[in-house]
């Protein structure tokens, strides 16, 4: 069977190469196609009467409400634009708490009294939709009989056309709320957090003489993923149903040679990436970077940063497009955090910053950061935010998949800390002692070869191990997981920052109102913040055991798994933070807490059940067959007069493993049959009982695998899945 999948994969690759690759289009001119399926600013300008266009821009850039007449005009223009591009349907696209996106398609056609149909789309349909919400998770915020849920158009994220074979659909990004106005999705709290952080940031900017009226959180997420041959994928029930392999012995060659990282990209994979990118360009996603990642068959795609709300929508579209295009190349895209045990997992580096309405990056240090008060204030606000709100930040990236990554010596640890680099650390050390007087410069990098240019050297090196790193003019939250919607981590980050900026603005406003010099007040405040929060700064190796000890001394949180981390969402402090800035009310947070716990338990439960299925129906029959064959061989050899010493030894070893495997399978099966009184106790049970039982069963299964003839093994192996490409 393993070899059948291998034959299929080899055939697929051969056919693909012989056809010159199934490349559905010629190389594209990115500039020409970019945004061609988006109702972009340009399209809006061309198609809307000037006052309507201006009203819409006011909504988009300043958050002003859209009136009914304007909405009607926009709707008509939008429909005409979509229909001209072949659209027959429209959909309100939203992000319920399931983690994936949801959509319900409606036709533009409305029947008329004379039996014909006309294409129609009114303002009301643009602004509001009403999907039956009863089957979406609400975490107890709503009972199923209160099924009403509304989708509300988010005019700040541009509509786009989804083309799928013979259909074209107009997609409208929307927020999803209950009849009582509670957020049932991931977009609503993000939008609320963007407004909150904007309000406080503007207060701080005003002190420095800025006349900015709005500040935007900006975000550029780097997505890691695996691509493997689809015939392997279909031959693995664990990959199909759990997104990761639950059995699988380590391959003889892993990633130890590190020859994969930034290595040349295989032809078929490159073609797949190129088509994925051109699809994304068309719908306005500004993807920019592609490269091989550390693990075999692992890759990365990253866009140019955007307003965080748009970046989140575009990130969801990127994940969907990766999944959708890969099969055209006989590939399957795996977005799971840990598809393969013992091999690097996938994360999503969430690059984040704040920018004012004029496009000034508030975390850009300039040439002399020690002299750049405004920058130092915003940077100190981040230190305070991450230190003060470690708990909810850690919880915002907690899920069953990420438990395999965080703290597993390949990804940042579960402890949050900030890497500032030499230059900024030096400045903040000066601040702690009173005031900053100089900036360490990097100078020029001389490579000792006269034809090579002298490169400007950064003042400090990078640090790959940090969970939250300053990288030049932005912070990079690296504990975010590859499969998750990045909306929630950004929501929490914005909320934490809101709290910091509020406190800073309040202090500085007080000081200046008393007639104190702003520079002096800032210097005093910065020193205070650094003293209180410097424990969060760590520039060393985050993978080392010494750091775990040191972090404990500093009393930093070290929440090693989802079940330990999630309660941080419902502490008194977190509830108050999110309520105060109107990001999430206590009911909404409790609802999310329940959903996250349930997701965790359901994920582990599915994995446990698949393991039992694979053990009983795939591995055991194969193992028993081979056990019998060894037995037959031993008897035959014995009958021929030889004692078959090695054969008997193998029989004993193998039989022991098989017996243990069967016993562990039954034990896991029995443990899975369990009910708990609450979501919390159930999640704990899954973590403390099921996860260890799964680990034991896997260990035995993997030992059996390496002793069983390859041609009999019922599934593709790691060696095949990771290296045949």
Residues at the site binding Mg ion, with contacts judged by CB under 5 A: 349
Q: What count of other Cβ atoms lies within 10 Å of the Cβ of residue 412?
A: 27
Regarding 360 and contact with ligand ADP (CB under 6 A), the answer is: no
Q: Among Mg ion, ligand ADP, none, what binds residue 653 when CB lies within 5 to 8 Å by partner kind?
A: none
Helix axes 645-672, 586-614, angle to 10 degrees: 150
User: Using CA atoms, how far apart are residues 262 and 268, in angstroms rounded to an integer?
Assistant: 16
**Least distance from ligand ADP to the Cβ atom of residue 221, Å:** 7
User: Using CA atoms, how far apart are residues 472 and 451, in angstroms rounded to an integer?
Assistant: 28
User: Using CA atoms, how far apart are residues 636 and 640, in angstroms rounded to an integer?
Assistant: 6
Which of 351, 490, 500, 665 is close enough to bind ligand ADP by CB under 6 A?
351
**Least distance from ligand ADP to the Cβ atom of residue 216, Å:** 10
- Reading the block at residue 50, the tokens are 């000037």
Q: Which long-range contacts (CB under 8 A, 24 or more apart) does 131-138 make?
A: 131/92, 131/94, 131/102, 131/104, 131/176, 133/176, 133/178, 133/184, 136/96, 136/97, 136/98, 136/102, 136/176, 136/184, 137/96, 137/97, 137/98, 137/595, 137/598, 138/97, 138/178, 138/184, 138/591, 138/595
Regarding 302 and contact with ligand ADP (CB under 6 A), the answer is: yes
Q: Where are the beta strands (DSSP E) in 331-420?
A: 331-334, 348-356, 418-419
**Least distance from ligand ADP to the Cβ atom of residue 441, Å:** 19
Which residues are within 8 A (CB) of 187 and not within 5 positions of it... i.e. 6 or more apart? 94, 95, 154, 173, 174, 175, 176, 309, 312, 313, 487
Q: Which is nearer to ligand ADP, 434 or 456 (CB)?
A: 456
Regarding 303 and contact with ligand ADP (CB under 6 A), the answer is: yes
Q: Cα dist. 289→66, 333, 475, 711 in Å?
A: 37, 18, 18, 40
The residue number with the shortest CB distance to Mg ion is 349
Q: Among ligand ADP, Mg ion, none, what binds residue 7 when CB lies within 5 to 8 Å by partner kind?
A: none
Contact 565, 395 (CB under 8 A): yes
Q: Which is nearer to ligand ADP, 108 or 352 (CB)?
A: 352
Which of 73, 95, 218, 482 is close enough to bind ligand ADP by CB under 6 A?
218
The kind and range of the H/E element at 229 are: strand 215-229
Q: Tokens 């970077």, residue?
A: 289
**Least distance from ligand ADP to the Cβ atom of residue 308, Å:** 8
Regarding 392 and contact with ligand ADP (CB under 6 A), the answer is: no
Q: Which is nearer to Mg ion, 352 or 626 (CB)?
A: 352
Regarding 304 and contact with ligand ADP (CB under 6 A), the answer is: yes
**Least distance from ligand ADP to the Cβ atom of residue 361, Å:** 5
Q: Which is nearer to Mg ion, 349 or 533 (CB)?
A: 349
- Reading the block at residue 167, the tokens are 């259909």
Contact 48, 66 (CB under 8 A): no
Contact 494, 354 (CB under 8 A): no
Scanning residues 221 to 260, which ones bind ligand ADP (CB under 6 A)?
222
> How many residues line the site for ligand ADP (CB under 6 A)?
16
**Least distance from ligand ADP to the Cβ atom of residue 212, Å:** 16
- Reading the block at residue 340, the tokens are 């393969």
**Least distance from ligand ADP to the Cβ atom of residue 474, Å:** 4
Helix axes 487-513, 308-325, angle to 10 degrees: 170
Which of 71, 184, 207, 219 is close enough to bind ligand ADP by CB under 6 A?
219
Q: Cα dist. 351→95, 473, 551 in Å?
A: 21, 10, 24
Q: Which is nearer to ligand ADP, 77 or 285 (CB)?
A: 285
Q: Pick the stretch among 58-66, 248-256, 298-306, 591-599 that binds ligand ADP (CB under 6 A).
A: 298-306
Q: Pick the stretch among 55-63, 248-256, 348-356, 433-441 that binds ligand ADP (CB under 6 A).
A: 348-356
Q: Which is nearer to ligand ADP, 220 or 341 (CB)?
A: 220
Q: Which is nearer to ligand ADP, 247 or 378 (CB)?
A: 378
Regarding 488 and contact with ligand ADP (CB under 6 A), the answer is: no
User: Using CA atoms, how far apart are residues 570 and 576, in angstroms rounded to an integer?
Assistant: 9
Positive/negative CA dihedral, 313, 315, 318, 323? negative
Which of 128, 134, 361, 374 is close enough to bind ligand ADP by CB under 6 A?
361
Q: Among ligand ADP, Mg ion, none, what binds residue 655 when CB lies within 5 to 8 Å by partner kind?
A: none
- Reading the block at residue 395, the tokens are 């919880």
Q: Which is nearer to Mg ion, 224 or 426 (CB)?
A: 224
**Least distance from Mg ion to the Cβ atom of residue 476, Å:** 6
Regarding 220 and contact with ligand ADP (CB under 6 A), the answer is: yes
Q: Among Mg ion, ligand ADP, none, what binds residue 289 when CB lies within 5 to 8 Å by partner kind?
A: ligand ADP
Q: Which is nearer to ligand ADP, 350 or 622 (CB)?
A: 350
**Least distance from ligand ADP to the Cβ atom of residue 473, Å:** 6
Contact 238, 246 (CB under 8 A): yes
Which of 153, 340, 352, 470 is close enough to bind ligand ADP by CB under 6 A?
352
**Least distance from ligand ADP to the Cβ atom of residue 398, Å:** 23
Residues that bind ligand ADP (CB under 6 A): 218-220, 222, 289, 302-305, 351-353, 361, 471, 473-474
């Amino acid at each position: 069977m393993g070899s059948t999948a291998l034959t299929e994969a080899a055939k697929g690759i051969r056919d693909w190469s012989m056809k010159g690759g199934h490349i559905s289009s010629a190389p594209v001119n990115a500039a020409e196609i970019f945004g061609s399926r988006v109702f972009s600013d340009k399209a809006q300008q061309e198609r809307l009467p000037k006052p309507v266009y201006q009203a819409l821009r006011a909504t988009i850039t300043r958050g002003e409400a859209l009136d009914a007449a304007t909405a009607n005009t926009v709707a008509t223009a939008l429909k005409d634009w979509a229909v001209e591009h072949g659209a027959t349907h429209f959909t309100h696209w939203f992000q319920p708490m399931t983690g994936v996106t949801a959509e319900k398609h409606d036709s533009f056609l409305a029947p008329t009294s004379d039996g014909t149909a006309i294409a129609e789309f009114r303002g009301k349909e643009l602004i509001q939709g009403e999907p039956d919400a009863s089957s979406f998770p609400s975490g107890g915020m709503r009972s199923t009989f209160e099924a009403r849920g509304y989708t509300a158009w988010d005019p700040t994220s541009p509509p786009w056309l989804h083309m799928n074979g013979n259909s074209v659909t107009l997609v409208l990004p929307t927020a999803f709320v209950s009849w009582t106005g509670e957020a049932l999705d991931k977009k609503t709290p993000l939008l609320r957090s963007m407004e909150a952080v904007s309000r406080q940031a503007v207060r701080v900017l005003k002190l420095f003489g800025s006349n900015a009226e709005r500040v935007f959180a900006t975000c550029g997420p780097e997505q890691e993923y695996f691509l493997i041959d689809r015939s392997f994928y279909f031959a693995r029930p664990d990959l199909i149903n759990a997104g990761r392999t639950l059995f699988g012995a380590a391959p003889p060659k892993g990633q130890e040679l590190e020859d994969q990282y930034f290595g040349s990209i295989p032809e078929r994979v490159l073609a797949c990436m190129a088509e994925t990118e051109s699809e994304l360009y068309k719908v306005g996603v500004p993807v920019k970077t592609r490269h091989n990642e550390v693990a075999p068959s692992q890759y990365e795609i990253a866009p140019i940063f955007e307003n965080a709300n748009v970046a989140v929508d575009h990130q969801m579209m990127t994940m969907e497009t990766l999944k959708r295009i890969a099969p055209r190349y006989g590939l399957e895209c795996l977005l799971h955090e840990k598809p393969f045990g013992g091999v690097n997992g996938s994360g999503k580096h969430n690059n984040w910053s704040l920018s004012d309405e004029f496009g000034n990056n508030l975390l850009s240090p300039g040439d002399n950061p020690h002299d750049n008060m405004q920058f130092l204030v915003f940077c100190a606000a981040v230190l305070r935010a991450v230190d003060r709100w470690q708990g909810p930040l850690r919880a915002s990236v907690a899920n069953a998949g990420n438990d395999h990554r965080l703290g597993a010596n390949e990804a940042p640890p579960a402890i949050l800390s900030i890497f500032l680099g030499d230059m900024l650390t030096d400045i903040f050390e000066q601040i702690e002692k009173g005031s900053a007087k100089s900036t360490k410069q990097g100078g020029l990098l001389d490579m000792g070869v006269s034809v090579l240019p002298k490169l400007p050297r950064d003042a400090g090196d990078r640090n790959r191990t940090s969970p939250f790193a300053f990288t030049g003019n932005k912070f990079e939250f690296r504990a975010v997981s590859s499969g998750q919607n990045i909306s929630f981590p950004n929501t929490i980050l914005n909320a934490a920052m809101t709290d910091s900026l509020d406190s800073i603005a309040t202090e500085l406003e007080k000081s200046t109102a008393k007639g104190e010099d702003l520079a002096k007040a800032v210097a005093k405040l910065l020193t205070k913040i650094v003293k209180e929060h410097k424990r969060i700064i760590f520039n060393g190796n985050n993978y080392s055991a010494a750091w775990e000890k040191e972090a404990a001394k500093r009393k930093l949180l070290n929440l090693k798994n989802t079940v330990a981390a999630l309660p941080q969402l419902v502490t008194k402090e977190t509830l108050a933070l999110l309520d105060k800035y109107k990001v999430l009310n206590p009911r909404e947070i409790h609802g999310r807490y329940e959903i996250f716990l349930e997701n965790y338990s359901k994920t582990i439960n599915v994995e446990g059940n698949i393991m039992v299925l694979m053990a009983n129906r795939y591995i055991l029959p194969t193992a028993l067959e081979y056990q019998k064959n060894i037995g037959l061989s031993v008897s035959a050899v014995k009958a021929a007069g030889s004692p078959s010493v090695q054969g008997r030894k193998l029989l004993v070893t193998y039989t022991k493993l098989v017996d243990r495997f069967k016993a562990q399978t039954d034990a896991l099966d029995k443990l899975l049959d369990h009910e708990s009184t609450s979501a919390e106790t159930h999640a704990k049970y899954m973590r403390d009982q099921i996860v260890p039982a799964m680990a034991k069963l896997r260990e035995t299964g993997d030992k059996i695998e390496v002793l069983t003839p390859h041609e009999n093994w019922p599934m593709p192996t790691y060696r095949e899945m990771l290296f045949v490409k």
